[in-house]
């Protein structure tokens, strides 16, 4: 299952959360994030419809990520050029972009306090620029999904 958001026919934005962790399933760790995220989503007008907790089984996680990446690739025209996304396609992009951003964020050691920039001669400076671009892309995708539908 891919995490993401969708807009129902009534224009209500819904969301699902995917939690990965054996420690949650076994009860060794009590999840504190689901309640916080649910409250936050409610406060900004998004209905949380599903929370799924799955075990730390790498093949299943990798397969879910591959499916999401393939959904993204299926939206891109073979010869390139301009294209429009369906809501499902936009959700696939959000999921894939988020995965890439998280990977880059770990590689760049990005935390809550930055860094805001890397020196131009830093070996990872270009990666940081890609991270920033993906952040903007993801934000725009979410904003578009949150807009009221035009008739």
The confidence score (pLDDT) of residue 2 equals 41
Q: How far is CA 130 from CA 18, 22, 103, 104, in A?
A: 25, 32, 12, 9
The confidence score (pLDDT) of residue 1 equals 36
pTM for the model stands at 0.60
Strand pairing report for 4-7 and 13-20: antiparallel
The confidence score (pLDDT) of residue 93 equals 85
The confidence score (pLDDT) of residue 151 equals 55
Q: Where are the domains of the chain?
A: 1-56, 57-151
Please report, to the nearest 10 degrees, the dihedral formed by the alpha carbons of residues 137, 141, 147, 151 taken in order.
120
* Phi/psi of residue 126, nearest 5 degrees: -65, -40
> Which residues of the chain are under the pLDDT cut of 50?
1-3, 8-9
Please report, to the nearest 10 degrees, the dihedral formed by the alpha carbons of residues 102, 138, 143, 118 taken in order.
90
Distance between CA atoms of 10 and 5, rounded to whole angstroms? 14
Number of H helices, E strands in the chain: 5, 3
Percent of the chain with pLDDT over 70: 88
């Amino acid at each position: 299952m891919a995490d993401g958001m969708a807009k129902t026919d009534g224009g209500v934005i819904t969301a699902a959360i995917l939690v990965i962790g054996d420690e949650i399933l076994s009860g060794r760790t009590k999840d504190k994030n689901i309640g916080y995220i649910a409250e936050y989503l409610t406060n900004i007008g998004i209905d949380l419809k599903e929370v799924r907790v799955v075990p730390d089984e790498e093949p299943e996680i990798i397969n879910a990520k591959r499916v999401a990446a393939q959904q993204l690739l299926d939206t891109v025209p073979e010869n390139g050029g301009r294209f429009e996304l369906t809501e499902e396609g936009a959700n696939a992009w959000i999921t894939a972009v988020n995965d890439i951003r998280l990977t880059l964020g770990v590689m760049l050691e990005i935390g809550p306090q930055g860094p805001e920039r890397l020196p131009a001669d830093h070996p990872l400076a270009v990666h940081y620029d890609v991270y920033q671009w993906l952040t903007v892309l993801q934000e725009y995708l979410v904003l578009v999904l949150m807009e009221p539908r035009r008739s």
